[in-house]
Structure 1
Amino acid sequence: MKLHRATEQLDVNDSDLSGSMFNDANLSSTTFNQINFSGAKFNDSNMSGWHVNDVNLSGSRFQNINLSGVEFSKCRLTGATLDGIPLEEMIEVYRKSRNS
């Protein structure tokens, strides 16, 4: 499915969007529940206010994006990167700093 210059608000549930590519997309305030985004690429996009629950983000790549106010819960992040940095490592560093 291709969406170009779409201006609709998205509420996506129980879908396989693995390997998808999102370029210069405004996905702000979108809700994703039980989605497979494994291997997806998100580039130059606004994802502020995302609500992401039980989503597979394994191997996904986030480059130059706005993640302000995003909530991730019960997500799989193995191999996912943000500007080239593994998300699992970021979370580990954050948790260690909170416990210090």
Structure 2
Amino acid sequence: MSTEKTKKEEAATEAPTEIPNNSLISISSFLKQLKGKRVLIKNISGICYKGKLESIDAFMNICLKDAVEYYMEDADDIIAYYENEVFVRGFGIIHMSEI
């Protein structure tokens, strides 16, 4: 019985081992992974954009290529299609994900 206590006491006094959490990534590395891929962006005003992420700056201003603009409620009702580039101001973005 005394050996069991000493083993438990030794285990309790050892420093806990830190397990790296690889599931957490920084925002900047997430955004770097999205460059060149198709993304979905939702804006505060209810407008969504789908397009290829060309560039992004420190203020989250985004440049999309071959983008489609539509309202959140109705993804089938396209407002506009942009063959060239469209710029989305970072201030109003509430959601961004890869498609």
Higher helix share: 2
Pick 1 or 2: higher relative contact order, CA cutoff 8 A, min separation 6.
Answer: 2
Q: TM-score, normalised by structure 2?
A: 0.24
Higher strand share: 2
Larger radius of gyration: 2
Q: TM-score, normalised by structure 1?
A: 0.24
